[in-house]
């Protein structure tokens, strides 16, 4: 019985990380890739798991980012939605409901470094403890407690590009995103980060936070 319990405990244990130098080298490769990226475009599939309800929600669409400080998510399924950040302006537009939330004083520093390094500001090694799991993913644990992020796993491609992310927040909700059709430095125009809203659009308060 003791042997069985011990074997079960070992089986449930998380994968042991590789040595610190391998994790540091992988993080440096990821950081260098995005430090030398002016803009980026990709398709994404996002799966969000609500820990309290055991429910999953899957979304898909396109993702674009341009330095400095421009970020755009176009959700195509299950419903159309655009989330756009341009400097200190945040816009979340839901065309089907014809409603929009706008924050003209958005604090981009409030975003996790897991996102901000895409914009050329966050530094992975400075803000996270690093390790690598048996699958070769880069594991990030915030050095300072952050309710938005308990842990992050990045799947990294040969050049240092991130092809998938898995973020667990302080409430054990899990946000997984897979990127495909990645295009680096495609020359995105600034106009991609400006929304021309309908004149009759309904303005609403801040959306509920997940």
Confidence of residue 7 (pLDDT cuts 50, 70, 90): very low
For 89, 90, 113, the CA distances from 179, given in Å and listed in that order, are: 25, 23, 18
Give 115's pLDDT tier (boundaries 50, 70, 90). Answer: low
Across the range 32-40, mean pLDDT stands at 92
Comparison of pLDDT for 44 and 210, the residue scoring more: 44
Window from 99-113, 121-135, 182-196 with minimum mean pLDDT:
99-113
H-only helix segments in the chain = 2-12, 20-35, 113-116, 124-127
Quickly state the pLDDT bin for 126 (edges 50, 70, 90). confident
- pLDDT value for 11: 39
Residue 190's SS3 state is helix
SS3 85: strand
The domain segmentation of the chain, as residue ranges, is 18-192
Please give the model's pTM, rounded to 2 decimal places. Answer: 0.80
Q: What's the CATH code, domain 18-192?
A: 2.50.20.10
């Amino acid at each position: 019985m003791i042997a069985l319990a011990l074997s079960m405990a070992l089986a449930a244990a998380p994968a042991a990380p590789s040595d610190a130098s391998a994790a540091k080298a992988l993080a440096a490769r990821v950081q260098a890739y995005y430090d030398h990226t002016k803009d980026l475009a990709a398709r994404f599939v996002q799966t969000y798991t609500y820990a309290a309800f055991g429910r999953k929600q899957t979304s898909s669409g396109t993702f674009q980012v341009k330095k400095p400080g421009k970020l755009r998510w176009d959700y195509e399924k299950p419903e159309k939605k655009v989330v756009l950040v341009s400097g200190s302006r945040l816009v979340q537009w839901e065309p089907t409901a014809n409603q929009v939330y706008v924050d003209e004083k958005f604090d981009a520093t409030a975003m996790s470094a897991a996102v901000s390094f895409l914009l050329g500001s966050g530094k992975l090694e400075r803000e996270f403890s690093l390790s690598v799991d048996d699958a070769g993913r880069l594991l990030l644990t915030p050095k300072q407690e952050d309710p938005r992020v308990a842990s992050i796993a990045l799947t990294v491609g040969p050049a240092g590009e991130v092809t998938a992310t898995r973020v667990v927040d302080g409430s054990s909700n899990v946000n997984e995103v897979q990127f495909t059709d990645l295009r680096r430095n495609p020359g995105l125009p600034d106009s991609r980060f400006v929304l021309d809203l309908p004149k009759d659009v309904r303005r609403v308060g801040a959306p509920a936070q997940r």
